[in-house]
Structure 1
Amino acid sequence: MNGGKNDVIVVGGGVIGLTTALVLAESGHRVGMWTRDPLGRTTSAVAGALVWPYRIEPARQVGAWLERSLSHYERLARRPDETGVRIVPGLMKDTSPAGLGSWAARVPGLREARADELPAGVGQALRAAVPLIDMPVYLRYLKERLRAAGGTVERRSVTGFEEPAALAPVVVDCTGIGARVLVADASLYPVRGQVVVVENPGIDEWFVASVPGSTDTTYVLPQPYGVLLGGTATDHSWDLRPDPAEAEAIVARCARIHPALAGARVLEHRVGLRPARPRVRLEAVPLPGGARLVHNYGHGGAGVTVAWGCAEDAARLALE
């Protein structure tokens, strides 16, 4: 331990930053987390938060991160009211078990759905019970647990990493799409996602249909606050304004799976920017002056899915 206030400063307050800061703090290190946005305004707060890989590479590492994250989520699901984590059954359309990787063996009961379990018009789907997370509750839980471990949380923006590096020997970059400017990473780009939250007409299982390369996806995710309906995946769009026409199309797609959704009262519109990259950037580099900078960003649409596995690897890099 050094004589300063912090051993590590984590920059970024979404699920990646919070989880990384928590792993470090619970390992006995003095950790400060700097976040530009309050929890409710991070991209993580908008997430549908079904634990399943989406728009993230490389597949082999993703599988290992996912398996380790699953172990954490399964434990947290024992206290759903406190953590926001529940294990929920559902259907993943047009997906083969063979294409999932070794992590699928960690999912209890994952199998081909029977014909009588499929919605009208759906020819094939996998059935599985996986973590589905109420992100506002979960982010508050992580923040409280971080503080209980001695970590501090500060609303603070940065224009570079020299400022935190002057206050701690290790800085962890969990800035998501912000890293495009902070480290001039032109390979990082936003994938805009829009969702609609409606009152729940009685849906208790999730459904996801995603066509690779399409800007439109269909997902129905029952949450305690309503049903989250999605979605869109528009590459290179920075627009955070909800589009009424897109919202109408989202509800229409989801209503083809669950007709009761057609008349459900709309509660909220949300838009977030997934931080996509050809592969997750998880590496340590030296900073001028001797500090160590650990990058942990570029998780695409699967930040929640791999958060714990990536946080553990980032913590190891931070403390080498």
Structure 2
Amino acid sequence: MTEDRSGDVIVVGSGVIGLTTAVVLAESGRRVRIWTREPAERTTSAVAGALWWPYAIEPQDLARTWALRSLSVYEELAERPDETGVRMVEGVMGGTLMDEHAPWATARLPGLRASTADEYAGPGLWARLPLIDMPVHLGWLRARFLRAGGVVEERTVTDLGEARARAGTVVNCTGIGARELLGDTGVRPVRGQLVVVENPGLRTWLVSEDAESGTTTYLFPQPGGLVLGGTTEADAWSLEPDPVVAADIVARCAALRPEVAGARVLGHRVGLRPVRPAVRLERDASAGGGEQGVLVHNYGHGGAGVTVAWGCAEVVLGLVPR
């Protein structure tokens, strides 16, 4: 007798989007398995900065809704930072004006204000935001998923048909992998390179946008070191750190915070952000249904996957049948 799998869910992908989605589904009572080519600690999510902020993501209005829902979750998780990897940290978003983010942010972020000249040489916003230590957070998400009865299987997926034959619902959280898996050429890699150095004592984060050069420079104090960034190289696929780029990142950060100059380098990180003209978060009508089951897509979040993960996961929950 064939086992009934119609109520099962397979989530393909184990980055922060896939893991968070799987957690929400498993805790709702679904039988959930994650199929992943590589463990979470080797995904793009593991090398993210990762500051909560709806960065370069469309559609903007929906992204802000997803982000604010996620913010509520992160505020709760920040009460247990050693366990969850989430801390609420103060810092300045340089080059950003207050009126660009009212009222969506001002109504939700207590104390959001224009930065002072002592905090940043130019216009900027001071804010207290979630800053996530991704290796810790991904490990915590995986453990929470397993506690909810979930199962993780490491396997390479080349055709979603295989997953759809094994479960009533498949949720595609493959990020940049959707380009090849679905032939979605709208998904493009935007390469990001980071340098991790010994923290010379910085306790606040800083993001500085240079409109003329198109660069964004940032410093994120994490428990394992000070994370320096970054780059936004469209259509670049290399995962090898470029020493010239690394030196430029350190120089840019030192120009903002001179104490960084000469800090001992602890490591280099490279990741490919899955950028798309708009996030694909929907039930796939072209995939049929009935005996074929349901296919839901949740990918294309660019550099804002951490920011919107919980909000998007709750949308997926509403799209998955019981």
Offset at residue 216 of structure 1 (A): 2.8
Work out whether 1:71 is the aligned partner of 2:54.
no
Q: Distance in 2 between matches of 1:167 and 1:210?
A: 46
Kept in 2, the 8 Å contact 1:215–1:232? The answer is: no
Offset at residue 54 of structure 1 (A): 1.3
Work out whether 1:24 is the aligned partner of 2:50.
no
Decide whether aligned partners of structure 1 residues 309 and 102 sit closer, same or farther in structure 2, where only a CA change above 3 A counts.
Answer: farther
In the alignment, residue 82 of structure 2 is paired with which amino acid? D
Aligned residue in 1 for 2:116: 114
Instruction: Give runs of aligned pairs for residues 242-261 of structure 1, distance below 5 A.
Output: 242-261=241-260
1:209-245 alpha-carbon deviations (Å, 9 max, x no partner): 1346955320000000000000000111111110000
Offset at residue 5 of structure 1 (A): 8.6
- Tell which deviates more after alignment, 209-218 or 87-96: 209-218
Q: Distance in 1 between matches of 2:212 and 2:302?
A: 14
Q: Tell me, what secondary structure is at the counterpart of 1:232? A: coil
Offset at residue 114 of structure 1 (A): 1.8
Figure out how many residues of one structure are paired with residues of the other and give that number. Answer: 316
Cα RMSD, aligned residues only: 1.5
Kept in 1, the 8 Å contact 2:6–2:168? The answer is: no
Q: Tell me, what secondary structure is at the counterpart of 1:319? A: coil
Q: Percent identity?
A: 59
Kept in 1, the 8 Å contact 2:10–2:163? The answer is: yes
Gaps of 5+ in 2: none
In the alignment, residue 130 of structure 1 is paired with which amino acid? L
Aligned residue in 1 for 2:200: 201
Instruction: Give runs of aligned pairs for residues 1-320 of structure 1, distance below 5 A.
Output: 3-4=4-5, 7-100=8-101, 102-104=103-105, 105-118=107-120, 122-211=121-210, 216-286=215-285, 287=287, 289-319=291-321
Decide whether aligned partners of structure 1 residues 35 and 212 sit closer, same or farther in structure 2, where only a CA change above 3 A counts.
Answer: farther
Superposition TM-score, scaled by structure 1 size: 0.95
In the alignment, residue 244 of structure 2 is paired with which amino acid? A
Superposition TM-score, scaled by structure 2 size: 0.95
Gaps of 5+ in 1: none
Q: Tell me, what secondary structure is at the counterpart of 2:246? A: helix
Q: Distance in 1 between matches of 2:31 and 2:201?
A: 46
Offset at residue 193 of structure 1 (A): 0.2
In the alignment, residue 107 of structure 1 is paired with which amino acid? L
1:228-286 alpha-carbon deviations (Å, 9 max, x no partner): 00000011111111000000000000001111111100001000000001100001115
Kept in 2, the 8 Å contact 1:194–1:231? The answer is: yes
Q: Distance in 2 between matches of 1:211 and 1:155?
A: 41
Q: Distance in 1 between matches of 2:214 and 2:241?
A: 15
Kept in 2, the 8 Å contact 1:214–1:233? The answer is: no
Decide whether aligned partners of structure 1 residues 271 and 214 sit closer, same or farther in structure 2, where only a CA change above 3 A counts.
Answer: farther
Kept in 2, the 8 Å contact 1:190–1:236? The answer is: yes
Decide whether aligned partners of structure 1 residues 261 and 60 sit closer, same or farther in structure 2, where only a CA change above 3 A counts.
Answer: same
Q: Tell me, what secondary structure is at the counterpart of 1:21? A: helix
Decide whether aligned partners of structure 1 residues 292 and 102 sit closer, same or farther in structure 2, where only a CA change above 3 A counts.
Answer: farther
